[in-house]
Amino acid sequence: MATWTTYGTWLQGNKKGYVKNGITLKANPALEKSNEELLKHEKIKIPKNLREIVKNAILKEAQKIGHKVYAITICSNHVHIVVDSIGSTCGYSVGRFKKAATTALRKYGFENKVWSKGFDKRYCYHQHELETKIKYVRNTKTNVSPLHRRGFSYKYVGGIPIIP
């Protein structure tokens, strides 16, 4: 599972906690304030009406590079994706997904940097870990329609919809 945030949101020190080098850390208001002061432009939020655009751009890019998407959620300030990226590094895949989503958002007036630097990754070594990550992503609150409503072909493997 990979997660990345929009620019200026969920900064280090955030009151909900934050992840640094794969470790979840507690809130640090002074650190968050310091990071806010370093922002070069306004925080970026993805409006509800554009989340489907972002999702479609990422799904099309995943198809293009041959990655199977198990689950994806686009929120106002972050993206979760569970993807089989065997043969590519997670960084390569996330970079392609961020670029595809940014290109799509440029058509709707997004001119500044859209995504924060980096991403968080959680590897799934066992089937139950994969299933847990998929459930987590699917249960994230959002107003984006499921995969089958958008014309993407998919099949079920072990009860999990996969985009071939």
Query: Which domain CATH number covers 61?
Result: 3.30.70.1290
**Is residue 161 domain-resident?**
no
pLDDT tens figures, 110-128:
999 999 999 999 899 999 9
**Is residue 99 domain-resident?**
yes
**Do 94 and 58 meet the contact criterion of CB atoms below 8 Å apart?**
no
Report the SS3 class of residue 161.
strand
Cα–Cα separations (whole angstroms), residue 85 to 18, 30, 89, 124: 25, 37, 7, 12
pLDDT tens figures, 56-107:
999 999 999 999 999 999 999 999 999 998 889 999 999 999 999 999 999 9
Angle between helices 48-64 and 90-106 (to 10 degrees): 130
Query: Residue 12: phi, psi to the nearest 5?
Result: -60, 130
**Is residue 164 domain-resident?**
no
The domain total for the chain is 1
**Which residue type does 16 have?**
K
**Is residue 110 domain-resident?**
yes
Burial of residue 74, with CB atoms counted within 10 A of its CB: 0-12 exposed, 13-18 middle, 19 or more buried: buried
**Is residue 47 domain-resident?**
yes
- Alpha-carbon distance 60 to 42, whole Å? 28
Q: Domain residues for 127?
A: 2-143
**Is residue 124 domain-resident?**
yes
Is it the case that residue 142 has pLDDT exceeding 90? Answer: no
**Is residue 163 domain-resident?**
no
**Is residue 55 domain-resident?**
yes
- Alpha-carbon distance 64 to 59, whole Å? 9
Nearest CA among 42, 30, 47, 68 for reference residue 152: 68
Nearest CA among 115, 112, 87 for reference residue 101: 115
Is it the case that residue 148 has pLDDT exceeding 60? Answer: no
